[in-house]
Each structure stands twice: as C-alpha cells, then as structure tokens.
Structure 1
Amino acid sequence: MKTIKILLSFLLFFLLCPNLSAQQAFWVHEDPVYPAKAADYEAYCSTLAVNSKKYDIKKANWFTISTDDLRYFHISPIQKMADLDQSRFSVLQDKMGEQEFNQLFENFDNCYDNHFDYIIHLDDDLSYMPEGIDPSGSGSAFVKLEFFYATPQNFEKLLDLAKSFKELYANKKSKEYYRVFRSGFGSQGQFIIVAISAKNASEYEKIRIENKELLGTDRDKIYDELLKTISKVETLNGYMREDLSYEPQ
C-alpha cells in the first residue's frame, strides 16, 4: 500500500507538471555517509556494481558521484513512471542468494543515519553544451556541483536568470560547458543544479578563471541579480566514480 501511494504521488506530480515530464528525468539516491564508514561503504557499492555486471542485471543502471563531504549520489535515468515500480535487483537477489544479498544491504544501513530519494530533470533549454548534452559528463573525472535554491516566489526569476547566463555564454562562445538540472518530486526545496565537468580540479579552476575574464562585467550584472534572488547556494567538489557505477551491456 505504501508503494502504491508513493507511485500515485509521483504520477500526480508529473500530470500537474507536463513541462517537466518532457525533460529527461533522473532518480537520485543520495547517501550522506559517516566518515569512519566511507571505505566500507565504497566497498559495498563496488560489490553491488561488480555483481550487477557479473549477472548482467538489465533493469539496473546508474552513475555515481562522490563529494568531498562524503555524500554519494547514485543517479539512474528513468523514461516513464513505471520504471519506479520495477524491482531493479530482484534478479540479482536470486543470482547472489537471498542471504548474501540481504546482508549486503544491511551493511549499507550501518554507514549512515538517513538517506534520500528524489527526482531531478535535465533542462536542455538552460544547459550550455554546444557540442551536445551529456547528462553524466562521461570522460571527465571531476565535476563541480552548484545548487542554487530559491523560494517558490522567486523560482521563475531564477530560471530567467539561468536563461540569461546561457545567452551570455553562447554570445561570448564560452568554453565552460555545463548542464542544468531542475529539482523534482521528493527534493528538499526548489533548486537548480549547475554541473560543470573537467578532467580534474586544476583544469576546472583554469577554465573558471578564463571564463570569468571572458564574460567580464556582463557576468557580474547577472550574478548580482542571482544573489538577490536565491535563498541559499551550495557548492560541492564531485568525482565521477566509474568504479561504483553500473550500466548494463
């Protein structure tokens, strides 16, 4: 019954927000991990990914980002609401054996005191990637994640400012490419995520400085308006974790 209620809530959300359902949606599972348990947690994640690959689990598909503050974001693309109702690991449980499988997930529970599940939407119209949008930024080991939060009253203005930034980047032919994700059902507050990928932190910093000089005072005007509009900003250094990710063949 609880699962049915959750799914009905997701469905109602999408029906009320058709403009969002047209965008690529992702299911995010976020684990804030105890520092002392980080190594154990990564070992469990690796075990899950290795076994999913070993048994070629078709229903599972995720890429993982870890951050300096020991948060792990496991991000799965979803095409339709029915995807949320699928048991992604039922086959894996059969292949591994119920006891071993259940023990693995009990081990996960010892690594944090809470975790979160929510939906985000890749917004093509706000993203700036002239060579084509890649949701995961594959091929880049580093990703800067900037969460810009706004109250419901100011969220539309935040989106307008994001459009202004994209126009400025395009006009200046900036080399700092980024994806924009919008918060969806289950998110804690309303926000957009700006994700900027690079080979490493040093390359990101070099691109950031060059881009700031390129945009000049035109950037400053929009950024000042942004600071007046948002209620909070959160900036994270993230790392693409191919060793903890899984994509079926």
Structure 2
Amino acid sequence: MFRIHQDNVKPSKLMEYEAIAKEFKAAASKHNVDVSWFTAMTYDNKYFYVSPIENFASFDERPFAEMAKAMGDDFTDLFSRFDKCYDSHGTYVIVKDNELSYMPEGVDNAPADETYREWYYMYYKPEDAKNIRDGMKAVRDMFKEKGSKMYYRVYRDGMGQMEHYYMVSAAFKNEIDAAQKNEENRKLLGPDRMKTFSKVLNYVSRMEEQRGVMRPDMDYSPKTD
C-alpha cells in the first residue's frame, strides 16, 4: 500500500511551490523526520508524494510532530505559504496489484534513468469488478505470451477515494523512448490485440491518461546510522 498526498498546484504558483517544497524537504532532512516519500508530477501541475505503508495504523503516526515543535512558527508559515499555491489537495491510499502487473524480470522499481511516466486510469462500476479484473489478467497473459518488452505496474484504488479504478504505470527514459516502445509493442501484439483489450475496455466507464515525470530531487528519506 502507498499513502499519496496530492497537491493540485496553480500554474501561476509553480516555481514558488517548488521552492517551498524543497525548503520543506531541507527542514525534514535537518530534523531527520522518520518518514520517506518519492515524488511524481504530471504535466498539468499535480504533485504526488508517495510513501509506502504497511497498514492503516500508519495514519495514527505523527512523523512531523517533533519537527513542528522545534520549528515553531516557521513550521506554520511553511504551510501557510503552501496553501497559497493550490486550491485543492488531499491524501488517499492506493494498492499495488502484483498479480495484474506485467514485470517479467521481477523488478520492483524502474531503472533510475527511466523517469518519464505514462499513467492510464481506468474507472469502472462496482458491478463490473470481476469482469474488468479478468480482462486485466487476459491483457497481462497476452503480453507474456508475446514476450512484450513493454513492462507496466498496476495499482488500484484504496482508502479515501469515491470511485473504483485501475491505474497502469509505464516507465520510459523520455517521450521519444515512450513513442518508440509503444509502436514496437503495437507491432508485436498485432491487430488481434484489440480483441483482448476489449475485455477490459468493455467494462471501463471512463478513462484518463496522464503524462509526467518522477522528481528524485524532491524525494526524501531519513538518515540511517
């Protein structure tokens, strides 16, 4: 499971937001806050701070309490400045679905040089949960049988969200690498691929596609002895 904090940043506040976010990271490092996150952003200025969690008891923890106490008014000021950079933000949980992911080499994380991302959100109605899951398995099996080099990870909605969806995440070096690999994959799977894809698409109520990048410069993890 992963706890996601999402900030929907105003275009006019983008540079200001990033400066504050890096200031917050520096403060977390100084106080060695006992939580870690990696960061992603979409091209429409959504920022995602992703922290792995073992269970929902993690929500009872207050990792920033000592930092807030030590910083005093400066801590409050940080968040007051953050609040001017977005009109909406929130926290929720997503779950990685290893059964549906296609990672034949068993790699949990993408190579460090593959920071470009394509994310595909497929929403579905509760009554179609079994059918769309079966369809996702059929797509995974097709990729496996064809020996596709187009790897992807699948995540599903967790706590704090009102709609059900699967999110497919594919990693690439850049947009050119993505275009080349997508084209190679289409040729490999062949024209019959749509028959298999339809086993998913027939039960999708709506789709969203997001493109963006990982931001290792905004990642954080505590120091260890």
Amino acid at match of 1:88: P
Q: 2:16 aligns with which of 27, 32, 40?
A: 40
Amino acid at match of 1:38: L
Amino acid at match of 1:110: K
Provide the rounded CA distance (Å) in 2 between the counterparts of 1:112 and 1:202. 31
Q: 2:129 aligns with which of 149, 152, 155?
A: 155
| Inter-CA distance 207–222: structure 2 relative to 1 (3 Å threshold) | same
**2:68 maps to 1:90:** no
Q: Tell me the CA shift for residue 91 of structure 1.
A: 2.4
Q: Is the 8 A contact 2:7 2:88 kept in 1?
A: yes
CA offsets 1:155-210 (integer angstroms, 9 cap, x no match):
22111111111111111111111100010111131001100011111111111110
Q: Is the 8 A contact 2:122 2:204 kept in 1?
A: yes
Matched residue of 1:143: which SS?
Answer: strand
Amino acid at match of 1:224: S
Amino acid at match of 2:61: Q
Provide the rounded CA distance (Å) in 1 between the counterparts of 2:165 and 2:100. 13
**2:165 maps to 1:168:** no
**2:2 maps to 1:30:** no
Q: Is the 8 A contact 1:119 1:184 kept in 2?
A: yes
**2:97 maps to 1:123:** yes
Pairs within 5 Å for 1:55-66: 55-58=31-34, 60-66=35-41
Partner of 1:179: 153
Provide the rounded CA distance (Å) in 2 between the counterparts of 1:237 and 1:132. 24
Partner of 1:223: 197
Q: Is the 8 A contact 1:133 1:179 kept in 2?
A: no
Partner of 1:52: 28
| Farther-moved stretch of structure 1 (45-54 vs 70-79) | 45-54
Percent identity (aligned): 35
Q: Is the 8 A contact 2:5 2:90 kept in 1?
A: yes
Amino acid at match of 2:11: P
- Aligned pair count? 222
Partner of 2:167: 193
**2:48 maps to 1:73:** yes
Q: Is the 8 A contact 2:132 2:199 kept in 1?
A: no
Provide the rounded CA distance (Å) in 1 between the counterparts of 2:26 and 2:172. 26
CA offsets 1:101-124 (integer angstroms, 9 cap, x no match):
110011111111121211110011
Q: Tell me the CA shift for residue 138 of structure 1.
A: 5.2
Q: Tell me the CA shift for residue 132 of structure 1.
A: 1.7
Amino acid at match of 2:115: A
Q: Tell me the CA shift for residue 148 of structure 1.
A: 0.5
Partner of 1:240: 214
Q: Tell me the CA shift for residue 229 of structure 1.
A: 1.1
Amino acid at match of 1:190: H
Amino acid at match of 2:209: T
Provide the rounded CA distance (Å) in 1 between the counterparts of 2:96 and 2:108. 10
Q: 2:116 aligns with which of 137, 142, 157?
A: 142
